[in-house]
Structure formats: structure tokens, C-alpha cells
Amino acid sequence: MSQGSIEVYESEDRTFSPLADFAAVALAGDDSLYTEAEADFEAFWARQARALLDWHDDFHTTLEWDLPFAKWFVGGTLNVSHNCLDRHVNAGRGDKVAIHWEGEPGDTRTITYRELLADVQRFANALLKLGLRRGDRAAIYMPMIPELPVAMLACARIGVAHSVIFGGFSPDAITDRCEDAEAKLVITADAGYRRGAPSPLKPNVDSALAAGGPTVEHVIVVDRCGTDPAMTPGRDLWWADLMAESAPDCPAEPMDSEQLLYLLYTSGTTAKPKGIMHTTGGYLTQVCFTHKYVFDLRPDTDVFWCAADIGWVTGHSYIVYGPLANGCTSVMYEGTPDTPRPLFRGDDRGGWPKDRLWDIVERYGVTQLYTAPTAIRTFMKWGEEWPAGHDLSTLRVLGTVGEPINPEAWMWYHRHIGGERCPVVDTWWQTETGGHMISPLPGATVTKPGSATRPLPGIFAEVVDAGGAPVGAGGGGHLTVTRPWPSMLRGIWGDPDRYRQTYWSTYEGRYFAGDGARVDDDGYFWLLGRVDDVMNVSGHRISTTEVESALVDHSAVAEAAVVGAKDEITGQSIVGYVILVGKVEPSEELRQEIRAHVGVKLGPTARPKAVFIVPDLPKTRSGKIMRRLLRDVADGRDLGDTTTLADPGVVAEIRDRAAAADDED
């Protein structure tokens, strides 16, 4: 993506080969999977589908492709809930732990596959009793509690498509999603714990349904926090009452491979969110395959932890469906990494400890940890002494998800969490793709800090220029996918024209969802973030990701965000916001030193016009940085809606600090 005088920042000569003892026993220890998929990708995916899943009826056609519409494993029938639960219990593994759940206040539950199956069957019967049938839609707006995967799997068991709504969203978001999906039911909780206090959910549902959602007939409420919410007679029902009245047996219904499994709404260029459609057979095949091979899964002994929220696609694929279909034990945590709690075990460092994640890893013996670069940079800011206080020796594989990871965060993760012995799998994928698309395979792939390496077996991707021509080694442009893949979105709910226009119209015959990338001389992919996160400075196109990586490369910087501000001379100027490491004190000299550091790393054109040292960055509750608000600060505009932020007050403090700082060179 970089052009002009901008130099490549990532150190492409810094590589890490799989350790010999790891590679010797890894599931993917060579290139055989790539070779098989390259020779016949349809046959490759057909083999994976049959090897990984139980089918009620075998499929007769692997792929029907009428660009841009795909059908995978045509003629086959199966049930997702059966594949996640029944088949493991039937095979004698019912007493195996499915989920180690930890609530934010410290309450815990250990749930076996047999117990999870029983709860799912009871709740599926409750849904049937309320009149839900195959093809209906149910909205789920819940905290990270076990009842959430129970609700999803119960819906899948009877063919009801679920639409999970992230618990941090506003009533307006609930209204929009319920109306678009014509949901018959909302499943929620009174509240969920967040940073030590209940965060209300049921009141948001009440507000949303007062404003819209006319198709909603019932609201089911889990009593998580004991907040005694208002209950509307005839409409609202308690989860516990329904479960107590439900029969314990509900057979899993065979579903067509293309049966709609779920809708997941994501933002678009218009105000109306897009209802991304994922179906049954293809989705579960690719999620199972990627979960198994990307994390080198040993289901008999591993304890897998995806530290995301089920409200996002990462949680759908790698908290619920992938781990359970593969029969492994997972960890599920309700709260945030910085949840206030007393010091313990004789710790005398003072203050509130910031080691909740590492404590969980140690206590449950986690073997794979999958988290976001934003979280990793936060851990860097807090300091390596927190993970150093815990035994993390059970970890075997580390993963990152959600955005490109800058090389220095990659190295910190590798050293301080993985002890330089764990492969780091940097995964690129999207809500729309359903599962991993570009990632190393531990044991087989030489890794480079900051690169997602290359497409997985059976995935075909190319970086193209503005005219749609592949750029080749050393080039940058737009990341496209050239062939269909099993877990691909099947469309946008109720709007096939929007699906075609959004994803398939930019480059003929290619999927493009807005990410930039470049390819190095070894054919490795370096993701540069969204193409709309590119600044044009005096005719040079500069990726915000590259500048953020250069900022974090400075030893005093833990996390950074970069935006382009209007500039009468250069068109745009680069403005950086940085959080300092640990106890480093801010100063004018340090600000200028950080600016100069970027110029050294990337060249003078990429040196920020201004760098502001801030206490925090404006983030949503999912951890995503809201750069729109930073652009508002940089351009002196009034701030827009800040209600979705984890800490709405942080933007005003950033604005005040920026106003007080000297922006001159």
C-alpha cells in the first residue's frame, strides 16, 4: 500500500521457524495440505467435510457456484447442535468438560458435554413450546454467560436462525436488528457484570421494543445479577421457569447444508447494518478445519481459550461452534482483563492487579490463547511483571485476531506470554468470511512478526492494483479472494443486490471487502487495515497501520492510533495519539522524540505533524478504536455520539490535552 518515499517498516528478514520438537508432532508439519488443496480444492474441502463432521445424509455435489452465490455440500443434511454435543456424548465423552466458565465476580461453573446437551435440549423444547419453528429468527442479547451458547445451540437444534447482538450495543441497535430480521423472540438477561458492577441489558431491550420490533412475541430473561427488572406480563418469561417446565429430550433435526444458521449484523457504508448470512454445512466445515489446524488442536488434552465476546464473529466461530464441534475443552470468561479485585496470594505491589487473564491461564492450564492486538498492547502498557507473576508454561500456541498486529506487539506476546516457545498465529478473516482465511499453520509455517503469512489450504487470495491486476511480490493494493470458500457469507439478509454491489462489484469475479495488503518477496501477506484508513499526504498514500507500528516501535510507547487531519498545504497531515508504557513520564521532549522516531523508521513524509500523549484511546466495549472521534478532535469538530465507548469521558480529556499541546515542529 505504501508508495512514494515511504519505506517498508516491517522487518521481513526477522523470521521464526517452528521449533523442531513442536514441528515433529504438529498436526501440520509440512506443506501436504497446501499441495492437496492446490491440486483440487473442491475435493480437498469435501474430504474435510466428511472427516470432521457427522452427516445425516451425504452430499452429492461439493460446490455449486453461480457468482456471487455459492452452495456447498449440496444434498447433504446435518445438524450443528448434534455435531457440537450429541456425537461426543454418544461416543462416551459425555463427562468431558466442555466449558470452564468464570464470572467476573469470581463465580465459576464447570460444564460437561452431557450437562450442556441436557440444557440445550430443554431450552430447545422451550422454544418449540413458544411456537418457534425452522426458518424463524431469534435475537440474543446477553452477557458472556453459559446460557448464551445454550441458546445458540438450541436454536441450531431446531432450525431457528439466531442473531446475536453484542451486549454493549444500544437500544437503537436492538431495534434495527430485530426489525430487519423480523425476530419472533429476544433472549436476554437482567444484566451482566462489567468492571465490578451490573451492566443493564433487559432495560435496553424494553426501550428497543417500545420503539420498534413489532414481530417480537416473547422476551426470555436470565436472572444473572438479581437487578429485579420490569417484566411485561404475557410477553416476558424467566429462563429458569421455562427450563424447569421443559422436557429433557429434544432430537436434533437434520438440516439442509444450506439451512440458515445465523445472522450477524455488521456496519456498512450506509446507516443500515448488514445482516450477514451464514449457513450450516460449509460454515461448520471450515470453522472446524481452521480451529483444528491453526491452533494445532489436541482435543483430548488441550484447554482452548478465545478471549473474545460471542457477540462478534470471533466468538461464534472460536468460542462456540469450532471448539465444541471439535470436542475440546474451552474457557469462557464473562468480564474484562482489568476487572477490579483484591490482591491475593501475598501480593504486595499495591493497587488493583492487572493479571486476571494470566491468573485464568494458570488456574485452568490454558494451552491456546486467542486474543486481539488491542488487548496485547494494553498488556504491554501495564507491564510484563503481571504475566511474569504466573506460570504460563501450559501455553502451546498463541493467536491474534481482529486487526493487523504491529511487529513490536507480536514480539512482546512471543517473549512475555509465549516464553519464545509458542508459535504465534496471526489470523486474518472477517465477519463475512466466517472462518480464518490467512494464517500460519504452527509447525509448518515460518512466521514474521506483523505478517499473517499466507492463505490457508483451500483459500485463494491475491493482492491487486486499482485496475484489478495482481501486483506480485513487493507490491501493495487491495486484498481479494479469487475462489469461493465453504464458510463464506451467503448474502445480506433481504438484500441480494446489496450483497453483489458491496462485495463483488469492485473487481470482476473477485471478493473484496475493503482491506489493503501488500505481498513481500517471499509471498507473505502484510495486512494494512481498511483501505479507508489510508492517508494522502502530499500525494503519498500512507497506511495508518504502518505509522502506528512505527510509533509503537518506540520503547516508550505501548499503544498508538493515527488519523489523517485536514491540511491546507499537504491535503492531509498525520496526527498520532500514543499511550506510554508503564511509569514513563510524558514530556514535550518525548513527544518530539517519538515524532522523529517515525521519520527515521518510515521516512520524512510519514513523520506525524503532531503526536499527543494521552491516558487512553476511545474504544468501544469490544476494544476497537473509534478513529472517527480522533479525527473529530484533530479537525476541531464537535464530537459525535460517544455512547458506545467503554469510557465516554476519555475523548474530552484527549481534546483538552491536544488543545494544550504545542503542535509546531
Per-residue pLDDT band at 504 (split at 50, 70, 90): very high
Q: Contact 602/596 with Cβ under 8 angstroms? A: no
Confidence of residue 343 (pLDDT cuts 50, 70, 90): very low
In a domain, 520, yes or no: no
pLDDT score for 72: 98
What is the band of 336 on the pLDDT scale with cuts at 50, 70, 90? confident
Specify the pLDDT at position 114.
98
Residue with cell 513487493: 474
With beta carbons less than 8 A apart as the criterion, state whether 70 and 490 touch.
yes
CA nearest 665: which of 599, 614, 579, 584? 599
Residue 176 · residue 273 · CB < 8 Å: yes
Q: With the C-alpha atoms ordered 344, 345, 346, 352, is the resulting torsion angle positive or negative?
A: negative
pLDDT band at 664 (very low <50, low <70, confident <90, very high): very low
Higher pLDDT, 224 or 172: 224
pLDDT over threshold 50, residue 9: no
Residue 348: its pLDDT value, please? 46
Average pLDDT over residues 322-331: 98
Euclidean distance between the first and the last CA atom of the chain, given in angstroms as a whole number: 27
Does residue 575 sit in the same domain as residue 646?
Answer: yes
Q: What is the domain-level CATH number for residue 624?
A: 3.30.300.30
Mean pLDDT of 112-131: 98
- Least trusted range by pLDDT, from 90-94, 258-262, 494-498, 649-653: 649-653
pLDDT at 600: 82
What number is the average pLDDT over the span 501-520?
A: 94
What stretches of 396-512 adopt beta strand conformation (E)? 397-400, 424-426, 461-464, 476-481
User: 262-266, 436-440, 540-544, 580-584: which has the minimum mean pLDDT?
Assistant: 540-544
The pLDDT > 70 percentage for the chain reads 91
Peptide bond into 68 cis (omega under 30): yes
Three-state secondary-structure class, residue 44: helix
Whether 207 is in a domain gets the answer no
- Residues 496, 550 within the same domain: no
pLDDT category, 404, cuts 50, 70, 90?
confident
Which pLDDT value is given to residue 195? 80
pLDDT at 632: 80
Domain boundary among 483, 503, 523: 503
The SS3 of residue 80 is: helix
Reported as a pLDDT band with limits 50, 70 and 90, residue 5 is very low
pLDDT score of 256: 98
Higher per-residue confidence, 615 vs 251: 251
State the Cα–Cα distance between residues 436 and 112, nearest whole angstrom: 27
pLDDT of 583: 82
pLDDT, position 640: 59
State the total domains in the chain: 2
The 10s digit of each residue's pLDDT in 150-178 is: 999 999 999 999 999 999 888 988 999 99
Task: Mark whether 368 and 480 lie in a shared domain.
Answer: yes
Indicate if 496 and 600 belong to the same structural domain.
Answer: no
Nearest to 433 by CA among 453, 458, 469: 458
pLDDT on residue 575? 92
Helix (H) or strand (E) holding 565: strand 557-567
Count of C-beta atoms within a 10 Å radius of residue 615: 12
pLDDT at 347: 47
Q: What's the rounded Cα separation, in Å, for the pair 53 and 610? A: 54
Same domain, 273 and 310: yes
Amino acid type, 127: L
**Residue 610 predicted with pLDDT over 70:** yes
Task: Give the model confidence (pLDDT) of 617-645 as tens digits.
Answer: 887 766 778 777 888 888 877 665 565 56
Residue 264 and residue 396 in one domain: yes
Structural domain boundaries, residue 299: 20-110+250-503
- The Cα 100–Cα 365 span in angstroms is 11
Strand order in the sheet with 236-238: 236-238, 218-222, 185-189, 137-141, 161-164, 260-266, 274-279
Three-class DSSP category at 412: helix
Are 489 and 562 contained in the same domain?
no
Q: Which residues contact 638 (CB under 8 A, 6 or more apart)?
A: 632
Q: What is the CA radius of gyration of the chain?
A: 24
Please check whether residue 176 lies inside any domain of the structure. no
* pLDDT score of 268: 57
Q: Which of 263-267, 487-491, 587-591 has the highest mean pLDDT?
A: 487-491
The grid coordinates of residue 395 equal: 501455553
- For residues 537 and 486, membership in a common domain is answered with no
The Cα–Cα gap between 283 and 64 comes to: 15
Are 479 and 463 in contact, with CB atoms under 8 Å apart? yes
Q: Are 183 and 208 in contact (CB under 8 A)?
A: no
Residue 225 near residue 193, CB atoms below 8 Å: yes
Distance separating alpha carbons of residues 635 and 630, to the nearest angstrom: 9
Q: Is residue 558 part of a domain?
A: yes
DSSP 8-class letter at 272: S
Query: What is the DSSP track for 162-207?
Result: EEE--TT--HHHHHHHHHHHT-SEEEEESEEEETTEEEE-HHHHHH
Residue 6's pLDDT band, with cuts at 50, 70 and 90, is: very low
Rounded to whole angstroms, the Cα distance separating 373 from 358 reads: 16
Instruction: Give the residue from 269, 195, 193, 179 showing the smallest Cα distance to 226.
Output: 193
**What is the Cα–Cα distance from 619 to 627, expressed in whole angstroms?**
9
Residue of 611, 545, 563, 555 lying closest to 380 (CA atoms): 555
The per-residue pLDDT of the chain, averaged, comes to: 90
Whether residues 379 and 491 fall in one domain: yes
**Position 499 in a domain:** yes
pLDDT at residue 8 above 90? no
Split at pLDDT 50, 70, 90, the class of 38 is very high
* Higher per-residue confidence, 367 vs 544: 367
Same domain, 493 and 562: no
**Assigned C-alpha cell, 52:** 470432521
Q: Contact 352/337 with Cβ under 8 angstroms?
A: no
CATH number at residue 72: 3.40.50.12780
Contacts of 585 (CB under 8 A, 6+ apart): none
| Least confident piece of the model among 114-128, 372-386, 558-572 | 558-572
Q: Are residues 420 and 331 in the same domain?
A: yes
Q: Are 143 and 335 in contact (CB under 8 A)?
A: no
Q: Under a CB-based contact definition with an 8 Å cutoff, are residues 59 and 75 in contact?
A: yes
From residue 546, alpha-carbon distances to 404, 543, 578, 633 in Å are 10, 5, 14, 21
Question: For residue 528, which phi and psi values (nearest 5 degrees)?
Answer: -115, 10
Tens of pLDDT, residue by residue over 54-95, are 999 999 999 999 999 999 999 999 999 999 999 999 999 999
In a domain, 150, yes or no: no
Residue carrying the nine cell digits 489510508: 534
Give every CB contact of residue 549 below 8 A, 6+ residues apart in sequence. 9, 10, 406, 407, 408, 450
Q: Classify strands 161-164 and 185-189 as parallel, antiparallel or unpaired.
A: unpaired
pTM attached to this predicted model:
0.85
- Give the chain's length: 665
CA separation, residue 260 to residues 133, 147, 279, 490, 563 (Å): 13, 21, 4, 9, 39
Question: Does residue 222 sit within a domain?
Answer: no
Q: What is the pLDDT of residues 561-579, one digit of tens each?
A: 999 888 777 778 899 999 9
Would 271 be classed as within a structural domain?
yes
Q: How far apart are CA 94 and CA 112, in angstroms?
A: 6
Report whether pLDDT(349) > 60: no
Strands (E), 55-190: 61-66, 69-74, 77-78, 97-102, 108-112, 137-141, 161-164, 185-189
Position 546 pLDDT exceeds 90 = no
Kindly state whether residues 273 and 403 are assigned to the same domain: yes
With a cut of 80, say whether residue 271 has pLDDT above it: no
Dist CA 353 CA 386 (whole Å): 8
